[in-house]
Structure 1
Amino acid sequence: MSESAYHQPEFLNGPDQLIPSDNLKTWELTGSVKLRIGDEGVLARTPISVPSFLIRSAEKYPLVTAMAVKRNGVWRETTYKDYYEQVRTVAKAFIKLGLKPFHGVCIHGFNSPEWFISNLAAIFAGGVSVGVYTTNSPEACAHCAQTSKAQIYVVEDQKQLEKILRIREDLPFLHTVIQYSGKPTVKGILSWDEVMKLGRQQPDTELEEKLRRIAINQCCTLIFSSGTTGPPKGVMLSHDNLTWTAHANSVNIDLVPEKESIISFLPLSHIAAQMADIYICMYAGGTCYFAQPDALKESLGATLKEVRPTVMIGVPRVWEKIYEKMTEAVQNTVIVKRLIISWARSIGLAAHERRQLQNFRKPLCFPIANAIVFKKAKSALGLDRCNVFISAAAPISPDVVNYFHSLDITLTEVYGMSESSGPHTIGLLNAFKTGSCGLTPPGFSTRVFTDDEDGYGEVYLTGRNITMGYLNMRKETNEAIDDEGWLHTGDIGRVDEHNFLYITGRLKEIIITAGGENIAPEPIEAKVKAELPCISQCMLIGDKRKFLSILLTLKTDIDAENGEPLDTLTPLTQEWFRNIGAQVQTVQQVLMSSSENVTRAIYEGIERANKLAISNAQRIRKWAILPKDFSQRGDELGPTSKLKRHIVLQKYSDVIEKFYE
């Protein structure tokens, strides 16, 4: 639908109207799509717009706390009734400030009530919400704003504001910049208080007019890909994509209305955080607590113990950090206590192995292990009320998963992407397998397109959660979504006899050796990390080469201020080196060491991984330890900690070339 069609009188029954369409995909921001509504079950659920989704929660849970943020040491709570009123107020301000239909409102800052409110206000006002990663460069920010024709840009503070000021002249549509934290020091930048005041001064008439023109099968949110495989693409999500996916997953996870709580700390510019923190939480009438900005550096543990959430979602690195700290703490206890913990963990792991086989009868000594170890461990972590433990966004080591299982913490994996509005398959408390991404819930569909005798192939997805398309990218949209509405994910995987999905790599990341062998790097990298606990990150090399080699980084401490990896090895890594006879405390000492013990230990670990290779072509021949761990700050990792392989290839090309001299 063109922008002129937006003003036609027949489309004035919003926000829960449907624009007639026979198309399953579009690349135009004003376009509409045919919803994949089924005849029964969750697929048949009546479509609902994002505004109506919030209105329903405000009416159903008016006095329930929707959001809580800690400022100046005090938790400040917002009820669903006030949440709705504040969204309306800011939406009216956006309209007064000149936001036109199908133009972007970019939001650039750490998770906060203002982020949530700006996101929903943009949608209420007929615009499009556009989350921007806080780690983005000014140039990346400009790409998001230019692509979405952003007219309003909401930033958190002076740091993010400075990025926008550098590129403002390159943004012809941008006319308003808002800073929601602190008092702006730059002339012309609006404060959050000024926006709220402006909104309160406006009548409801224009907002109601905008709401009447909203359609459920049109775009309301843009999710920009993190750019790990090329320039970021704008994934268009409709109202139905968001509200249906939230409903279907809430039902599948069996969330309890008014009883759930979650901590918001993952980047809200990513669909996983938006879906969980905003939409699923809203559907269940849950409470979202905002972590402190330094959550991923040091403060998350304290917030967990204070909030005691019922749902915990983290990227693998979050779970790995918890695992490392717990392992370190156990090693510092007396030997008797270590033996008791070890015994209890064997009971916990046995219980989870039984549960994977659908045998829910717990080992005989489980109550004792639970009383003396499991309950105390969960309480110490702030997870004693938690029922949902999820690792998302990237593969996680089975060793880490098994560690949590041994403490009766059922950590499971979820599979999804921006193009599937977030979760598409999920492991649940009583339906999981270690190493898998869980089952496909009712209403969602998954299949693997393959002629491989082992069942591996490209994973296809479909359902009401599948994106409308990529903004302004006709070719890429048609390549990703076929005419039957199946999303071609580009991921390689298989579905086992019990319908559990396993992901083994990306088509674009497949290494094709000089001998023509096709190799998925992730499984091999995971084996190396499993054999060498000192390794933080590794990246397999070998595309168009005669043999495989690998880049390794060591686990080091992190600068709490900026998240940059330090030279100092973590205590557990130092202990690993001591156990092999090397007295080192830093990466530089490892690199400068002439100890044969270090070389032998790394070599033997890689050889153990090589013994698991399915062919000689998949054996690693050479390796090198890099001087610094990968990080977002170093640009080797994306915002969700996914490896940017093309960046690493460029950055360490000299090291790589030495492998093949």
Structure 2
Amino acid sequence: MTIQLENNTLAALTERSTSLYEDKLLVSNIDDIEITYAQAGEKIALLHSIFQELGIKQGDKVAICSENMPHWGIVYLAITSMGAVVVPILPDFHLNEVQHIIKHAEVVALFVSKKINAKFNEDGYSSPLQYVFSLESLELLEDKTSKHSELVSKIALFKEKALHLAHLRSDSQVLSIDENDLASIIYTSGTTGQSKGVMLSHKNIISQFQQIQSMVGIHSEDKFLSILPLAHTYECSAGFIVPFSTGASIHYISKVPSPKIILAAMQKVQPTCMLSVPLVIEKIYKSKVQAQFNKNRVIKYLYENVTFVRKQLNKIAGKKLEESFGGQMRLFGVGGSKLSPFVEAFLSEANFPYAIGYGLTETAPIIAAAAPGCTKVGTTGLIVPDVEYRFNKQSEDQRDGELHVRGPNIMMGYYKDAVRTAEVLDEDGWLNTGDLGYIDENGILTINGRSKNVIIGASGENIYPEAVESVINQHALVLDSFVYELEHKVVAKIHIDYEQFDDSHNISKTSDSALHSDILSLLEEIRTTVNTQLSSYSKITKVTEQREPFITTPTKKIKRYLHT
């Protein structure tokens, strides 16, 4: 479905969707709250009126710091559709990080959940904020300007005025919002330890949903289940803006989305679409599929050694998995980091409707994608429409090059950071992704790893830590792994599944020294097995136990700088 807007702004999109799909369900908390597109439009008009009354104007920065909930996207649209700039803040950020973002971005107002606000009040914080709003009720919780103190907790007084304004005119017609105006500043929590404020324009965000829509085709009858943080551009763009633009509905979980809770929610919502990161589907595969095959030694042997048997078992397991996902899934998007080849091979052979996406916060975020039925194991799909690409290689005989892209979804730059902007974005609009890969004769993109992470072998070979980690993670008792270079050798840290390990080792009757010895034996067995599947130059020389879970980004990529 092609979507035509008078101008490429979130104001125009908001006006279109809230009027065109007014009777349809927009967002829901699966336990209680339901809000239609028309009701969302009324809440947006209400917030516009409140902003006007408080003096919050076009260009001002307004932050959202909260877990996912129905009002999150509505507030996002209310901020951007009146020309202000939204600053999404991940709820898992430390208080010091939140304070830094609020000060650095010069945020004047903050929408915060009850849980996060309690944490702030308990720890104590100072900032240039003028107003603090409740995201659950949209009430003004704190006013630091004194002149508007009488407005605290009295937002209902503006409802009649807001609705009156909404009927008189739309803000998108009165305000002069250009597609190249700043719409959002997203502070990344990347793997390098350097948080940057990515500036995205209205055009960046609007072009992104048009590109995604052309690749996968979302329609008004689709139901999304949201499990990733909305403050991350992947979920915000593909999991909120895209369904909002097409009249689809989005359902949120009010609890921490563990695999058990996600599966229960799927049964209740019966979603047709959802977005995930590799770690989620990998955990479900290991607990629901691999664990069942491993219970029987004969089946385990046949599964691992007989191709025909493996494919048949995967088809059977795939049907059961689709049923456990609610039975209506037609698009299960996986992005944020590379999916392990062994899990993707299962999804492919099981005919599971998975899609692959690749991109960066700096690209709003999708660069390449493959719809269900068009995926190829180990690849990231086709470059999305209107995006140009090129590869920077040290020599022409190299297969892999550093990917550079240019297009309407490329960021404006890093906020207040011209130096780091110039490091990745040149004067002609080319963005250096920092990722190494290639495009085959069919135009399919393969990304092998980050250029900063590559380990150079003794004879100059490129060793991709991510590729070695994907082999390690195949082991049933491995939850996650981290491969790096130490004294010119390839080494690994492994975080094992202690729950499964404890079940198989009767820990209540086994001494600590014996358990420690068993863990060392397990690590060595994993190293030996993995090395049989690796090239000679990339073999692991040493494995150590990672007792605590790795510290990860919102998309579950390991923050590598914290573990070397």
Give TM-score scaled by structure 1 length.
Answer: 0.75
Is this contact kept in 1: 2:286–2:476, CA < 8 A? no
Which consecutive residues of structure 2, in runs of 5 or more, have no partner in the other structure? none
Q: What's the counterpart of residue 256 of structure 2?
A: 294
Q: What's the counterpart of residue 523 of structure 2?
A: 602
For 2:318 and 2:463, how far apart are their aligned partners in 1? 40
For 2:156 and 2:291, how far apart are their aligned partners in 1? 47
> Is 1:549 matched with 2:481?
no
Q: What's the counterpart of residue 213 of structure 2?
A: 250
**When the two structures are aligned, how many residues end up with a matched partner?**
552
CA apart distance, 1:628 = 2.1
Root mean square deviation, CA, Å:
3.6
SS in 1 for 2:215: helix
In the TM superposition, what are the counterparts of 1:515-526 in structure 2 within 5 Å? 519-526=463-470
Q: What's the counterpart of residue 325 of structure 1?
A: 287
Structure 1 counterpart of 2:526, one-letter code: G
For 2:265 and 2:243, how far apart are their aligned partners in 1? 18
Is this contact kept in 1: 2:142–2:152, CA < 8 A? no
Which of residues 530, 541, 549 in structure 2 aligns to 1:629?
549
CA apart distance, 1:390 = 1.6
Query: Per the alignment, do residues 227 and 329 of structure 1 end up closer, same or farther by CA in structure 2, a change over 3 Å counting?
Result: closer
For 1:91 and 1:430, how far apart are their aligned partners in 2? 43
Q: What's the counterpart of residue 180 of structure 2?
A: 217
> Is 1:143 matched with 2:100?
yes
SS in 1 for 2:13: helix
CA apart distance, 1:206 = 10
Q: What's the counterpart of residue 30 of structure 1?
A: none
Query: Per the alignment, do residues 280 and 44 of structure 1 end up closer, same or farther by CA in structure 2, a change over 3 Å counting?
Result: closer
Is this contact kept in 2: 1:125–1:207, CA < 8 A? no
Q: What's the counterpart of residue 136 of structure 2?
A: 181
Query: Per the alignment, do residues 514 and 335 of structure 1 end up closer, same or farther by CA in structure 2, a change over 3 Å counting?
Result: closer
Is this contact kept in 2: 1:447–1:460, CA < 8 A? yes
In the TM superposition, what are the counterparts of 1:204-603 in structure 2 within 5 Å? 204=165, 208=171, 211-255=174-218, 257-296=219-258, 298-327=260-289, 330=292, 374-382=318-326, 384-450=327-393, 451=395, 453-511=397-455, 519-530=463-474, 532-542=475-485, 545-555=487-497, 569-571=498-500, 573=501, 578=504, 583=505, 585=507, 593=515, 595=517, 599-603=520-524
Q: What's the counterpart of residue 562 of structure 2?
A: 647
Q: Deviations over 1:74-118 (max 9, x none)?
A: 3x3222122122112112212222213322111111111211121
Q: What's the counterpart of residue 10 of structure 2?
A: 50
SS in 2 for 1:240: helix
Is this contact kept in 2: 1:462–1:486, CA < 8 A? yes
For 1:84 and 1:492, how far apart are their aligned partners in 2? 43
For 1:43 and 1:229, how far apart are their aligned partners in 2? 37
Q: Deviations over 1:625-648 (max 9, x none)?
A: 122222xxxxx1122211111112
For 2:208 and 2:459, how far apart are their aligned partners in 1? 44
Query: Per the alignment, do residues 492 and 77 of structure 1 end up closer, same or farther by CA in structure 2, a change over 3 Å counting?
Result: same
Structure 1 counterpart of 2:131, one-letter code: T
SS in 2 for 1:483: coil
For 2:152 and 2:444, how far apart are their aligned partners in 1? 47
CA apart distance, 1:327 = 2.6
CA apart distance, 1:403 = 2.5
Is this contact kept in 2: 1:220–1:238, CA < 8 A? yes
Which consecutive residues of structure 1, in runs of 5 or more, have no partner in the other structure? 1-40, 351-364, 556-568, 631-635, 650-661
For 2:237 and 2:175, how far apart are their aligned partners in 1? 25
Structure 2 counterpart of 1:606, one-letter code: R
SS in 2 for 1:508: coil
Q: Deviations over 1:413-460 (max 9, x none)?
A: 210111111221112223211111111132223332222534111111
SS in 2 for 1:436: coil
> Is 1:100 matched with 2:68?
no
For 2:37 and 2:513, how far apart are their aligned partners in 1? 56
Query: Greater shift after overlay, 284-293 or 199-208?
Result: 199-208
SS in 1 for 2:44: helix
CA apart distance, 1:488 = 0.4
Query: Per the alignment, do residues 200 and 266 of structure 1 end up closer, same or farther by CA in structure 2, a change over 3 Å counting?
Result: farther
CA apart distance, 1:470 = 0.8
For 1:130 and 1:638, how far apart are their aligned partners in 2? 18
For 2:479 and 2:269, how far apart are their aligned partners in 1? 30
SS in 1 for 2:106: coil
Is this contact kept in 2: 1:401–1:412, CA < 8 A? no
CA apart distance, 1:239 = 0.9
Query: Per the alignment, do residues 626 and 461 of structure 1 end up closer, same or farther by CA in structure 2, a change over 3 Å counting?
Result: same
Is this contact kept in 2: 1:51–1:123, CA < 8 A? yes
For 1:389 and 1:346, how far apart are their aligned partners in 2? 25
Query: Per the alignment, do residues 153 and 166 of structure 1 end up closer, same or farther by CA in structure 2, a change over 3 Å counting?
Result: farther
